[in-house]
């Protein structure tokens, strides 16, 4: 008979290669753990409290109190793709027993494995089907609960039915197009738009919709917006890829995007309010926040998606200012690197 032992605390699954950013966030944003000097990662590395342990990219923190989230509006760490919110240990004798025990709790379970891959895939095969393949954009993000498990040894797993993402292991992975988009940044806007729709119920940009994109060169985001049929005012100091420069639905302007007034942009796009305001500009987060507030005060944009690029260590109090914007969500995308993304639904 499989046996379940409930555990205290939370387990955080770091995005790939983001372990140090996750631990820095736990320390800087949640005041959990402590930062010590180290020569290895940006001059900082993390020493978790004595009882925390890494299982691959999964950090189990038995002493992490759920109440800690209340201070930050219940938002779980951005650099974790998903979290085991009610972790437990499952002890079992066979693959069938493990799968039955999970199935009894809920339908959907995804693996996170850092070892014992073969055994985990045999367990997964006995569970109800979920799509673990790369996905072709556009995708629908489901809203059904998705559990997470990881094998600690061949008869023990760490698992949680309750997680904070409906995606398997909290990540969307798109089929990549290596030929058409002018830059790999197209994946970020595809992921942002998918999340935007899941969070706010707003459909993708479409024909007739007006987008203003700051820092658009070479054009990965513009390419996605055009694939979806929207009109784009693309502003950058450098031109976009030739195919986009020739597109009559792309109006390119060589300009500092931050000095264009919302009214000017709306008049260029012949509308009262633009449908999508987008920025992937590399700038200080404080500058970006000021610009977003300018647009919100002017009430000239319905939906906003901006990359918050970090310069060195993350200024968590400043990120908290972004998080205070009404109807906003801050995320770390699967396709973000040392940056976050803010999504704002301003209708
Ligand atoms: C990361 S790239 C954008 C990539 C683009 N999103 C894509 O999909 O291909 C950032 C761009 O911001 C532009 N940029 C930086 N500061 C700017 C400003 N003040 N106004 C307009 N563009 C700016 C840079 O020239 C650069 O092309």
> Do the domain assignments include residue 179?
no
* Location of structure tokens 């240990």: 89
| Ligand 1 in reach of 225 Cβ (< 6 A) | no
My answer on whether 254 and 226 are in the same domain is yes
Claim to verify: residue 99 and residue 192 sit in the same structural domain: no
Q: Are residues 339 and 207 in the same domain?
A: yes
Say whether both 9 and 119 belong to one domain.
Answer: yes
Phi, psi of 321 (to 5 degrees): -65, -40
Ligand 1 centroid vs 110 CA: distance in angstroms?
37
Full domain range(s) for residue 112: 3-170
Phi, psi of 129 (to 5 degrees): -65, 130
Whether residues 93 and 190 fall in one domain: no
Q: Is the pLDDT of residue 46 over 70?
A: no
pLDDT band at 47 (very low <50, low <70, confident <90, very high): low
Nearest CA to ligand 1 atom 19: 256
For a mutational test of ligand 1's pocket, the pick from 245, 250, 282, i.e. the residue with the most ligand atoms closer than 8 A to its C-beta, is 282
Q: Which of 120, 115, 53, 58 is nearest to 84 (CA)?
A: 58
**pLDDT value for 347:** 76
Which residues, including other chains, have CB under 8 Å from residue 158's CB and lie 6 or more apart?
7, 11, 55, 58, 60, 84, 87, 88, 89, 149, 150, 152
pLDDT (average), residues 282-300: 97
**pLDDT confidence tier of residue 74, bands split at 50, 70 and 90:** low
Ligand 1 in reach of 218 Cβ (< 6 A): yes
Q: Is the peptide bond before 195 cis (omega within 30 degrees of 0)?
A: no
Interval 230-244 mean pLDDT: 98
Any ligand 1 atom below 6 A from CB of 220: yes
What is the DSSP secondary-structure string of 120-187?
HHHHHHTSPP---S-BPSS-PPP-S--EEEEEEETTEEEEES--S-SSGGG---BPP-SSSSSSTTHH
Q: What percent of the chain has pLDDT over 90?
A: 86
Domain endpoint, select from 146, 170, 194: 170
Does a structural domain hold residue 166? yes
Domain co-membership, 146 together with 225: no
Percent of the chain with pLDDT over 70: 94
**Ligand 1 atom index nearest CA of 182:** 9
47 and 159: one domain?
yes
**Residue at 272 is within a domain:** yes
Cα separation, 347 vs 335, whole angstroms: 27
Average pLDDT over residues 340-347: 95
**Residue 154 within a domain:** yes
- For residue 59, report the distance from its CA to the centre of ligand 1, in Å: 35
Same domain, 33 and 144: yes
CA atoms of 81 and 345, how far apart (whole Å): 22
Phi first, then psi, for residue 210 (nearest 5°) are -110, 125
pLDDT of residue 70: 75
Mean pLDDT of 161-182: 96
pLDDT above 90: residue 84: yes
pLDDT digits (tens, 9 = 90+) for 319-334: 999 999 999 999 999 9
Give residue 132 CA to ligand 1 midpoint distance, Å. Answer: 33
Task: Tell which atom from ligand 1 comes closest to the C-alpha of 188.
Answer: 8
CATH number of residue 261's parent domain: 3.40.50.150
Position in ligand 1 atom list of the atom nearest CA 213 = 6
pLDDT band at 65 (very low <50, low <70, confident <90, very high): confident
- pLDDT (tens digit, 9 = 90+) per residue, 178-230? 999 999 999 999 999 999 999 999 999 999 999 999 999 999 999 999 999 99
Number of domains within the chain: 2
Give yes or no for residue 174 CB within 6 A of ligand 1.
Answer: no
The rounded distance, in Å, linking the Cα atoms of 32 and 23 is 9
Model confidence over 5-44: pLDDT tens digits?
999 999 999 999 999 999 999 989 988 876 444 434 444 4
Ligand 1 centroid distance, CA of 217 (Å): 6
Mean pLDDT of the chain: 93
Tell whether the model's pLDDT for residue 66 goes beyond 50. yes
- How many angstroms is it from 200 CA to the middle of ligand 1? 26
Select the more confidently predicted residue: 306 or 63: 306
pLDDT of 68 = 81
Q: Mean pLDDT throughout 272-298?
A: 97
Which pLDDT band holds residue 49 (cuts at 50, 70, 90)? Answer: low
Question: Measured between alpha carbons, how far is 129 from 176 in angstroms, rounded to an integer?
Answer: 24
**81/204 same-domain check:** no
Residue 181 lies in a domain: no
Which ligand 1 atom sits nearest the alpha carbon of residue 220?
Answer: 8
Which structure tokens are listed for 343?
């999504």
- Give phi and psi for 219, each to the nearest 5: 125, 15
> Is the residue at 134 inside a domain?
yes
Per residue in 89-133, pLDDT (tens digit) is 999 999 999 999 999 999 999 999 999 999 999 999 999 999 999
Give distance in angstroms: CA of 281 to centre of ligand 1.
Answer: 4
Please give the number of the atom of ligand 1 that sits closest to the Cα of 309.
1
Cα–ligand 1 centroid distance for 288 (angstroms): 13
Which of 143, 170, 197 is at the close of a domain?
170
**Taking 80 as the threshold, does the pLDDT of residue 48 lie above it?**
no
Range name among 24-33, 66-75, 163-172, 221-230 with the lowest pLDDT average: 66-75
**Are residues 156 and 201 part of one domain?**
no
């Amino acid at each position: 008979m499989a046996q379940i032992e409930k555990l205290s605390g939370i387990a955080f699954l770091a995005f790939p290669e983001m372990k140090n950013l996750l631990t820095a966030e736990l320390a800087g944003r949640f005041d959990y753990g402590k930062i010590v000097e180290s020569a290895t990662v940006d001059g900082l590395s993390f020493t978790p409290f004595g009882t925390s342990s890494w299982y691959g990219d999964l950090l189990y923190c038995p002493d992490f109190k759920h109440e800690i989230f209340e201070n930050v509006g219940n938002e779980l760490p951005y650099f974790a793709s998903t979290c085991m919110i009610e972790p437990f240990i499952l002890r079992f004798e066979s693959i069938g027993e493990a799968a039955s025990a999970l199935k009894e709790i809920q339908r959907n379970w995804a693996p996170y494995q850092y070892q014992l891959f073969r055994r985990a895939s045999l367990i997964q095969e006995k569970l109800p089907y979920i799509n673990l393949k790369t996905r072709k954009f556009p995708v629908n993000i489901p809203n059904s609960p998705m559990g997470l498990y990881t094998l600690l040894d061949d008869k023990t797993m760490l698992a949680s039915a309750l997680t904070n993402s409906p995606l398997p292991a909290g990540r969307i992975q798109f089929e990549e197009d290596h030929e058409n988009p002018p830059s790999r940044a197209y994946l970020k806007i595809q992921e942002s738009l998918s999340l935007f729709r899941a969070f706010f119920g707003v459909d993708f940009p479409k024909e007739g919709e007006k987008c203003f994109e700051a820092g658009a060169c070479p054009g990965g985001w513009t390419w996605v917006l055009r694939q979806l049929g929207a009109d784009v005012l693309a502003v950058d100091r450098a031109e976009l890829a030739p195919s986009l420069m020739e597109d009559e639905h792309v109006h390119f302007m060589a300009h500092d995007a931050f000095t264009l007034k919302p009214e000017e942009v709306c008049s260029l796009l012949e509308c009262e309010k633009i449908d999508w305001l987008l920025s992937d500009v590399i700038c200080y987060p404080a500058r970006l926040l000021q610009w977003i507030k300018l647009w919100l005060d002017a009430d000239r944009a319905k939906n906003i998606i901006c990359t918050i690029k970090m310069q060195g260590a993350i200024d968590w109090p400043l990120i908290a200012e972004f998080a205070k914007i009404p109807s906003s969500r801050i995320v770390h995308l699967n396709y973000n690197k040392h940056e976050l993304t803010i999504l704002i639904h301003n209708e």
